[in-house]
Amino acid sequence: MYEVRFHGRGGQGAVTAANILAIAAVKQGFYSQSFPYFGVERRGAPVQAFTRIDDKRIDLRMNVYEPDAVVVLDPTLMSVIDVTQGLKEGGIIIINTAKKPEELGFSGYKVATVNATEIAIEHRLGSQAAPIVNTAILGAYSKAVGNVKIEHVLEAIRENAPAKKEENAKAAEAAYEKTVLGW
């Protein structure tokens, strides 16, 4: 079982990202499950969403407390919450930032970075002020974690992005290429 936690802000699409990853995992032949942290959702407030991936049916229904990977859609969250909380030792952190992994000062984890904001703006996803980075970050997930191949991620995006399907897929593809692995 592989467990992923997404950190974003309300409106950035963290929940959709978790869902699309689950769909992509099933395309690859896995079982999966995705769900939001069941809060009262407000635009801009920190939100969490989760994806479980396994090669057998997933019966577990509790929240994810010890993820194998965390995905951070908004780097400003890192000053508000501890995104590594419960993260397994040697777990993977994927962050939307212009910085390089070694500039972020994490130790004991594998860190991957990608400037998903820039990629989203280039692909006209959302606005300059509020770019939609959730599909780009999935490209980075595929590169960094590797358990769900990029072609399945792209297929899941094309089928499930609520709008601009092709632009979203292209953004994920670009992010896949540009992700910097700190290990």
Partner 1 sequence: MKAMIRGNESIAYAFKLARVQVVPAYPITPSTLVPEKISEFIANGEMKAEFVPVESEHSAISAAIGASARGVRVGTATASQGLALMHEVLFIASGMRLPIVMGIGNRALSAPINIWCDHQDSMSQRDTGWMQFYGENNQEGLDLGIMAFKIAEDKRVLLPAMVGLDAFVLTHTVEPVDMPEQSEVDDFLGEFKPNYVTLDPNKPATLGSFGFPEHYTEFRFAQWVAMEQAKKVIDEVFEEFEKKFGRKYRKVMPEHTEDADIIFVTMGSMSGTMREYIKKLRAQGKKVGMVKITVFRPFPKEELIEALQNAKVVAVVERNISMGFAGAVYGELAATFANKSKKPKFVDFIVGLGGRDITFNTLESVYKVAEKALTQDVDDVNWIDVNKEAVYKSEGLQ
Binding region for partner 1 (CB under 8 A): 19, 22-23, 26, 31-36, 38, 40, 58-63, 65
Minimum CB distance to partner 1 smaller for 8 or for 101:
8
Say how many Å lie between the first and final Cα of the chain, rounded. Answer: 23
Report CA 66 to chain centroid distance, whole Å: 16
| Cα–Cα distance, 181 to 4 (Å, whole number) | 18
DSSP H/E element including 41: none
Minimum CB distance to partner 1 smaller for 34 or for 96:
34
CA distances for 47 relative to 109, 145, 159, angstroms: 22, 22, 24
Minimum CB distance to partner 1 smaller for 105 or for 162:
162
Minimum CB distance to partner 1 smaller for 45 or for 98:
45
Minimum CB distance to partner 1 smaller for 58 or for 180:
58
| Cα–Cα distance, 60 to 33 (Å, whole number) | 9
| Cα–Cα distance, 175 to 144 (Å, whole number) | 11
| Cα–Cα distance, 149 to 52 (Å, whole number) | 16
Minimum CB distance to partner 1 smaller for 64 or for 174:
64
Amino acid present at 125:
L
Provide DSSP, 112-148.
Answer: EEE-HHHHHHHTT-B-SSSB--HHHHHHHHHHHH-SS
